[in-house]
Amino acid sequence: MKVVKLQDILGTEHDVDGGNWVSRRLINKDVGMGYSVNDTIIKAGTETHIWYKNHLETVYCIEGEGEVVTLSDNKVWPITKDTLYALDKNDEHLLRAKTDMRMVCVFNPPLTGNEVHDENGVYPVDED
């Protein structure tokens, strides 16, 4: 059994500031669950280019308002509180936050806990 409190992650190496976002990495690869879980704040007024070529991601918005634009078809997906979206095709997208958005993000394969997006919006895959 593993119990993680957000307060224990804040200020550690698993409290990652990506500029437009701050992601608190709650469950990481080293736990051995086969996925990772993040509590992420997307900052109001930002637009972030993301392309998880190496990961599938499911995101549940628990606070705020914004939108996702899938770049393959330029479709705009409004995201509000209590909305879940799944990037099930490694979708390249833009994430736009109208207000601060608090998101619960699940990744497969799991993150190690300190990743940031590269110049293409990609997280590297951990080869181990």
Residue 63 belongs to domain with CATH number: 2.60.120.10
CA distance linking residue 102 with residue 39, whole number of Å: 7
Helix (H, G, I), strand (E, B) or coil at 7: helix
Across the range 40-48, mean pLDDT stands at 97
Given this model, what pLDDT does residue 53 score? 85
Cβ within 8 Å of residue 73, ≥6 positions away: none
Flag whether 65 is in a domain. Answer: yes
Flag whether 122 is in a domain. Answer: no
Flag whether 82 is in a domain. Answer: yes
Q: Domain total for the chain?
A: 1
User: What is the domain range of residue 20?
Assistant: 6-108
Given this model, what pLDDT does residue 126 score? 66
Flag whether 1 is in a domain. Answer: no
How confident is the prediction for the chain on average, in pLDDT?
Answer: 91
Could you tell me the pTM of the whole model? Answer: 0.89
Q: What is the pLDDT of residues 47-101, one digit of tens each?
A: 999 998 888 999 999 999 999 999 999 999 999 999 999 999 999 999 999 999 9
Going by the DSSP 8-state scheme, the letter that residue 9 receives in this structure is: H
